[in-house]
């Protein structure tokens, strides 16, 4: 076992004493901060959290705009949790646990739900490539056809028309 002789090393005693004083002061500050009352929760604070959640009963209605009694109760729960000092993410996690991921209004970025995030981008890129190719063909094709077509005189057309009309006489 390590033994320290404080009479030979008095500076070590003072360092330990300062460290003990610092730790006790820190714990006293955190206790005082946790017992002090927080600022009252305003309607804007509740709206900030409810703005990111969706009503689990209505289709496509945010929680802050829904007029159902259930949504009023959910906003009251948000106010209670904010008063208790819970952070916004914890409150959102609570509602996801209660009502499922649809309460977030967007699918989570995991598993099969990645398709909901990837497919619109793929469709946009694919549509852009399709439009680009079609536009390119429309611009390039007429020039290529006129260069490749043999030159035919108007007399040749008239001669062919006369021959075909003789079959109908």
Residue range 80-95, pLDDT digits in tens: 998 988 888 899 889 8
Structural domain spans, the chain: 1-36, 43-106, 112-166
What architecture is domain 43-106? Orthogonal Bundle (1.10)
pLDDT number for residue 59: 76
Q: Which residues are bridge partners to 62 per DSSP?
A: 54
CB 113 within 8 A of CB 102: no
CB 48 within 8 A of CB 88: yes
User: How far is it, in rounded angstroms, from Cα 117 to Cα 114?
Assistant: 5
For residue 99, what are the contacts with CB-CB under 8 A and spacing of at least 6?
56
pLDDT number for residue 7: 59
Q: Is the pLDDT of residue 57 over 80?
A: yes
Output the pTM of the full model.
0.46
**Which of 127 and 14 is assigned the larger pLDDT?**
127
Q: Is the pLDDT of residue 64 over 60?
A: yes
pLDDT number for residue 154: 79
Max CA distance (Å), the chain: 137
pLDDT number for residue 32: 42
CB 64 within 8 A of CB 81: no
Nearest alpha carbon to residue 46 among 82, 15, 73, 11: 82
What are residue 33's phi and psi, to 5 degrees? Answer: -70, -35
Confidence label for 4 from pLDDT (cuts 50, 70 and 90)? low
Classify the C-alpha dihedral 35-40-44-46 as positive or negative. Answer: positive
Q: Is the pLDDT of residue 144 over 60?
A: no
CB 70 within 8 A of CB 61: no
Q: Is the pLDDT of residue 33 over 60?
A: no
CB 77 within 8 A of CB 35: no
């Amino acid at each position: 076992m390590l033994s320290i002789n404080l009479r030979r090393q008095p500076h070590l005693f003072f360092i330990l004493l300062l460290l003990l004083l610092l730790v006790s002061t820190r714990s006293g500050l955190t206790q005082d901060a946790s017992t002090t009352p927080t600022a009252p929760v305003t309607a804007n604070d509740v709206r900030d959290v409810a703005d990111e959640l969706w009503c689990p009963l209505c289709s496509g209605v945010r929680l802050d705009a829904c007029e159902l009694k259930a949504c009023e109760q959910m906003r009251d729960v948000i106010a209670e949790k904010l008063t208790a000092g819970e952070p916004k993410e914890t409150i959102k996690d609570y509602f996801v646990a209660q009502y499922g991921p649809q309460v977030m209004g967007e699918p989570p970025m995991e598993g099969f739900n990645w398709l909901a995030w990837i497919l619109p981008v793929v469709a946009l890129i694919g549509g852009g490539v399709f439009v680009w190719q079609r536009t390119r063909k429309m611009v390039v094709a007429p020039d290529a056809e006129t260069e490749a077509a043999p030159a035919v005189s108007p007399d040749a057309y008239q001669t062919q028309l006369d021959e075909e009309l003789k079959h109908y006489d």
